[in-house]
């Protein structure tokens, strides 16, 4: 069973030997291995039961190191990196040959980010290789935002979980790629579209689908709890279930239709940052509650509300 601890040296030792360690980041916990070692990468896919057509994000600790992994770092990427790294931003850039094809699922771009967490930055600074790290959850399930989330689901498959406390952002990074030198958002995430647009002007947001060849991992059904998950309209649910059989995830106001003890509020004050931090952990709590189905209200379609709605829609798309 995995040990939860704060020993960076222990984590470093395991990684140097090609093993895997769960690492904290400000967004979600990652399942990390040496990004340049095929055996480590293979283990990541196996432990997560992740299909190999879904590429991984490579984590590093400086812009300089990031540059050594790509063949081009355009001025727009430089600007974004300077402003948002270390932080919840992932850039898609043309990869160097040293990045194994397994990491990028055969694509010629690699996803790179510098995570903003002191203990993981310390680890990355000590290592002379970057870390490939998808979210540390079984494929298709909700991402972990606490060490115990990782232990519950992957504890029997890995040796060590580096404890960095609760994730401060709580949702995965915003992924930005470039098409004809223009930035394009491939995945909504911890840095809002509004914040990105303040820097680079209007950006296109790619809609996710099950057949988006350029972001094969952005499957529509994802981030899902085990229980049936619904959004949009609660009325059809009320014809099929008794109110006490429904668990609800709300934002600001509580629902009249469901007992209050079955409701978790992302943010009573209607604060997007607080809601983002609570999202995945509350989805997990609802999954463990003695209810039959989960209903979630969508947030206003702006700021981090957009990224939260994206995850809620995907959870409901089963």
Binding site residues, ligand TXA, CB under 6 A: 25, 27-28, 30, 54-57, 90, 92, 104, 107, 109-111, 113, 115, 133-135, 172-173, 175, 186, 214-218
Q: Is 218 in the site for Mg ion (CB under 5 A)?
A: no
Q: Which is nearer to ligand TXA, 75 or 213 (CB)?
A: 213
Choose the stretch contacting Mg ion; rule: CB under 5 A; options: 72-80, 132-140, 207-215, 258-266.
Answer: 132-140
Q: Which is nearer to ligand TXA, 47 or 56 (CB)?
A: 56
122: CB partners within 8 A, 6+ apart: 8
Q: Which of 135, 218, 276, 278 binds Mg ion (CB under 5 A)?
A: 135
Choose the stretch contacting Mg ion; rule: CB under 5 A; options: 34-42, 133-141, 237-245, 281-289.
Answer: 133-141
* From Mg ion, ligand TXA, none, interface partner of 262 (C-beta below 5 to 8 A by class): none
Q: Which is nearer to Mg ion, 224 or 250 (CB)?
A: 224
Q: Is 90 in the site for Mg ion (CB under 5 A)?
A: no
* From Mg ion, ligand TXA, none, interface partner of 25 (C-beta below 5 to 8 A by class): ligand TXA
Which residue has the CB atom at the shortest distance from ligand TXA? 217
Q: Which is nearer to Mg ion, 143 or 267 (CB)?
A: 143
Choose the stretch contacting Mg ion; rule: CB under 5 A; options: 82-90, 108-116, 129-137, 204-212.
Answer: 129-137
| Nearest approach, Cβ of residue 139 and Mg ion (Å) | 8
**Total binding residues toward Mg ion, as defined by CB under 5 A:** 1
Q: Which is nearer to Mg ion, 135 or 276 (CB)?
A: 135
**What gap in Å lies between CA 238 and CA 293, rounded to an integer?**
11
Q: Which is nearer to ligand TXA, 31 or 291 (CB)?
A: 31
The three-state (H, E, C) secondary structure of the chain, written as one string: CCEEECCHHHHHHHHHCCCCEEECCCCCCEEEEECCCHHHHHHHHHHHCCCCCCCCEEECCCHHHHHCCECCCCHHHHHHHHHHCCCCEEEEEEECCCCCHHHHCCCCEEEEECCCCHHHHHHHHHCCCCEECCECCCCCCCCCCCHHHHHHHHCCCCCEEECCCCCCCCCCCEEEEEECCEEEEEECCCCCHHHHHHHHCCCEECCCCCCCCCCCCCCCCCCCCCCCEECCCCHHHHHHCCHHHEEEEECCCCCCCCCHHHEEECCCCCCHHHHHHHHHHHHHHHHHCCCCEEEECCCCCCCHHHHHHHHHHHHHCC
| Nearest approach, Cβ of residue 221 and ligand TXA (Å) | 13
List contacts with Mg ion (CB under 5 A).
135
């Amino acid at each position: 069973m995995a040990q939860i601890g704060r020993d960076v040296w222990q984590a470093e030792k395991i990684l140097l030997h090609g093993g895997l360690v769960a690492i904290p980041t400000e967004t979600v916990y990652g399942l990390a291995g040496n990004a340049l070692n095929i055996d480590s990468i293979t283990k990541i896919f196996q432990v997560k039961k992740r299909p190999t057509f879904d590429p991984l994000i490579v984590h590093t600790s400086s812009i300089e190191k990031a540059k050594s992994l790509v063949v081009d770092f355009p001025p727009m990427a430089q600007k974004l990196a300077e402003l948002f790294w270390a932080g919840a931003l992932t850039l898609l850039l043309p990869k160097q040959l040293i990045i194994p094809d397994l990491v990028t699922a055969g694509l010629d771009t690699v996803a790179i980010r510098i995570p903003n967490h002191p203990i993981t930055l310390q680890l990355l600074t000590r290592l002379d290789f970057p870390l490939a790290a998808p979210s540390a959850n079984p494929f298709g399930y909700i991402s972990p935002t606490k060490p115990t989330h990782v232990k519950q689901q992957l504890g029997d498959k890995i040796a060590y979980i580096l404890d960095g406390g609760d994730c401060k952002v709580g949702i995965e990074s915003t992924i930005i790629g470039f098409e004809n030198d223009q930035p394009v958002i491939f995945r909504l995430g911890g840095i809002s579209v509004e914040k990105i647009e303040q820097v680079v002007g209007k950006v296109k947001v790619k809609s996710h689908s099950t057949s988006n060849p350029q972001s094969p991992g952005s499957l529509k059904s994802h981030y899902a709890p085990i229980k049936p998950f619904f959004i949009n309209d609660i009325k059809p649910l009320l014809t099929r279930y008794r109110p006490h059989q429904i668990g609800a995830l709300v934002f600001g106001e509580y629902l009249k239709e469901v007992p209050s003890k079955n409701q978790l509020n992302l943010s009573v004050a209607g604060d997007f940052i607080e809601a983002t931090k609570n999202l995945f952990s509350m989805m997990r709590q609802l999954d463990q509650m003695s209810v039959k189905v989960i209903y979630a209200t969508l947030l206003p379609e702006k700021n981090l509300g957009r990224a939260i709605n994206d995850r809620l829609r995907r959870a409901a798309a089963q």
